[in-house]
Structure 1
Amino acid sequence: MIGIVGIVIIFAMVFGGYVAAGGKMGIILKSLPFEMIMIGGAAVGAFILSNDMASIKHALKDIGKVFKGPKWRPDDYRDLLCLLFELIRLQRQNPVAIEEHIEDPENSSIFGKYPKILHDHEAVEMICDTLRSASMNYDDPHQVEEVLEKQLEANYHHAMHSSHAIQNVADAMPALGIVAAVLGVIKTMGSIDQPPEVLGKMIGGALVGTFLGVFLAYGFIGPFASRIKAVVDEDSHFYKLIREVLVANLHNHATNICIEVGRQNTPHHIRPSFSALEEALKSVKSEAA
């Protein structure tokens, strides 16, 4: 919703200010289709040329993040802590019983309580692989933390590709606008024998290309890339929480302490309160009993 508000404000302020200052929209509207064909078409072509098909699909899908925002909400962080609490407690009480949950999470009664987390392959894989490693005596906390850190870095790098690809398009848009403007000037020079009022309109139409290139770069495409990066950064805290809790578990801290370590390392605006988490954990304990 906030993304749509931003777009409305951009259009209203730019074109509203232009019209209020006495500018006429006619010349812009007349030139807009042709300039958009040149600038937009060149931008799309350059985007396709510089990315493979998987990256293109990923970037187009990630544009939705501008309007949807982060995938993980504060309630999801609470659910994640509850899920980890159940798994860690079961692993310590009955190391054999945990295997059915980490080997087949799709049919796990514990994972099944948290469908949103279950449907996230990255989160489930990180949890199950780490718990499986601990059950195989690969439980050096420092080694596991290093492995998880590298996994998080690789996943983050992949998630950020869309932002980089779209930002590259934004960086190219002003230059593509100049290309369109130069073509407009060439067209104008071919009609140099026309009266001044005709030449004025042709030059104005050519300058629309420069305007569009800069306007789209800094008003839309660049902010889109920045917003995608911000959403990726926000969602990355969810996976960092998994790392913090599971590494604390390998240090043999009490289960409640492991969960509190994860909670404390979550940014304040998405961190579940101590009382809310305590109530959720009590509910988990009562269900298990």
Structure 2
Amino acid sequence: MDILSVVGVILGFTALLGGNLLEGGSWAALANGPAALIVFGGTIGAAILQTPMRGLRRALSLFKWIFLPPRQQFKQGIGRVVSWAHSARRDGLLGLENIADKEKDKFSKKGLQLLVDGSEPEVIRHVMETDLIVAEQRDHDAVQFYESMGGYAPTIGIIGAVMGLIHVMRHLADPAELGPGIAIAFVATIYGVAFANLFLLPVANKLKACIREQSQFRELLIEGIIAIADGENPKAIEMKLSGYLH
């Protein structure tokens, strides 16, 4: 569990609601069904409209990273690469075949299989970097789902405000109808801005950080596998990769 994500969400919305209470408002004043329907429904609908089905599925699957991010164990990764280097030095590249068969990480498994097949270092780099770029782009495209909602929410909040004002203007002669219309106008704006800036945009940026860390870990694996293909000493490989620990 990423405690910072939990603290961030709680602190952000607590500050908003707490500030409202300190100013003499009430929680009930911010609860408005029509405004919520306009802002949340409109925002999600607009984002779904622009997102392909594959991207939407990926975006939903990435959401858990906000609270349960994948931990890239760089130190353990270096240790794995060094152990592969020792095996290759002792048994030759063919000695990595059993290790490749047992490897659970698909990216590492592919690199080891390329080593076992005797591929040239340039070929290994090209194949693995292509996989890295494609996976990174796929994840960034998925993050666009949350970024787009962060852009749409404030605008749709303004649409809700305008709709509320239209309601008000139609009932100027009836004071009893003015309150609900004005409430929708202002509450819709708050919903849109708060939803975007306290949740959606931070979610997108947090996912980008997770993707960046995952890409760095895969770069470590690429450099380590290339070094093994070049026949470098395991100790030298360990020193080369230690830069990823900083």
The one-letter amino acid paired with 2:142 is S
Percent identity of paired positions between Structure 1 and Structure 2:
23
Does the alignment pair 1:40 with 2:37?
A: no
- Counterpart check, 1:4 vs 2:2: no
TM-score by length of 1: 0.76
Counterpart in the other structure of 2:107? 122
Q: Report the residue type matching 1:263 in the other structure.
A: S
Q: Deviations over 1:227-285 (max 9, x none)?
A: 11111112222111101112222333212211221222x142xxxxxxxxxxxxxxxxx
- Alignment-derived partner of residue 16 in structure 1: 18
* Paired position in structure 1 for 2:234: 255
More divergent stretch after superposition (146-155 vs 209-218): 146-155
Matched, 1:238 2:201: no
The alignment of Structure 1 onto Structure 2 pairs a total of residues equal to 243
- The residue aligned with 2:83 is 86
Q: Structure 2: which 5+ residue stretches go unaligned?
A: none
1:150 aligns with 2:127: no
Partner of 1:66: 66
CA contact (8 A) 2:38 2:160 kept: yes
Aligned to 1:185: 165
Q: Which of 115, 124, 128 does residue 131 from structure 1 map onto?
A: 115
Q: CA RMSD in A?
A: 2.1
Which whole-Å CA distance do the structure 1 matches of 2:222 and 2:83 have between them? Answer: 16
Counterpart Cα distance in 1 of 2:172 and 2:62: 47
Long gaps (5+) in structure 1: 112-117, 269-289
Q: What TM-score, normalized by structure 2, do the two folds share? A: 0.89
1:39-65 Cα offsets, whole Å, 9 max, x none, are: 111122122211222221211121111
Alpha-carbon contact 2:165-2:185 (below 8 Å) kept: yes
8 A contact 2:13–2:198 mirrored in 1 = no
Moved over 4 A (4+): none
Q: Distance in 2 between matches of 1:224 and 1:174?
A: 16
For residue 152 of structure 1, report the CA deviation from its aligned partner. 1.8
Structure 1 residue 128: deviation in Å?
2.2
Would the aligned equivalents of 1:184 and 1:203 in 2 still touch at CA under 8 Å?
yes
Q: Decide whether the 8 Å contact of 2:164 with 2:183 is kept in 1.
A: no
CA 1:89–1:132 in structure 2 vs 1: closer, same or farther (change >3 Å)? same
Answer yes or no: is 1:176 the counterpart of 2:160: no
Amino acid aligned to 2:242? R
2-structure distance, mates of 1:124, 1:142: 18
Instruction: For residue 63 of structure 1, give the secondary structure of its aligned residue in structure 2.
Output: helix
TM-superposition CA deviations, 1:8-33 (whole Å, max 9, x none): 1112211111221222433322x2x2
- Check the 8 A contact 1:28/1:205 in 2, yes or no: no
For the 8 Å contact 2:112–2:225, the answer to whether it is kept is: no
Deviations 1:98-153 (CA, angstroms, capped at 9, x unpaired): 33433xx2xx3xx4xxxxxx2x323322x2243135x2xx32x4454344333322
